[in-house]
Amino acid sequence: MSDTSDVWRGTLALMVLKTLELMGPVHGYGIARRIEQTSDHLLSINYGTLYPSLLKLEQEGFIASEWGLSDNKRKAKYYKLTRAGRRKLAKETREWEQTTVILARFLSPEEKLS
């Protein structure tokens, strides 16, 4: 079994939006590294999954991109959160918080269902 897991379906967009909220404009490689670092390297970001997700978020208007130079002076596409992306992040965060509360009720043996 691997030490890292693939990102759960439906959570990558939320992690990307949160990363951009915290870090400001950053390129795809930086987003992937930050997600992996934040998870203590328990998650492994596949670029074949990340870049389509970034494209989808951009097409939906939740992020915007522009070309710039990376720290090592290479051309890189930088992504940033849009106003619509901030609203989406707030909505998705509330929904995930509610979901985790519900799941915790099922997974905690000391919790009694009424």
The count of domains in the chain is: 1
Residue range 4-34, pLDDT digits in tens: 445 666 799 999 999 999 999 999 999 999 9
In a domain, 114, yes or no: no
In a domain, 44, yes or no: yes
pTM: 0.85
Range of the domain at 15: 5-107
Residue range 36-45, pLDDT digits in tens: 999 999 988 8
Question: Going by DSSP bridges, is the β-strand pair 5-6/43-44 parallel, antiparallel, or unpaired?
Answer: parallel
Which pair of tokens denotes residue 100? 């985790």
In a domain, 112, yes or no: no
Domain with 99 in it: what CATH number?
1.10.10.10
Distance of alpha carbon 88 from alpha carbon 110, whole angstroms: 34
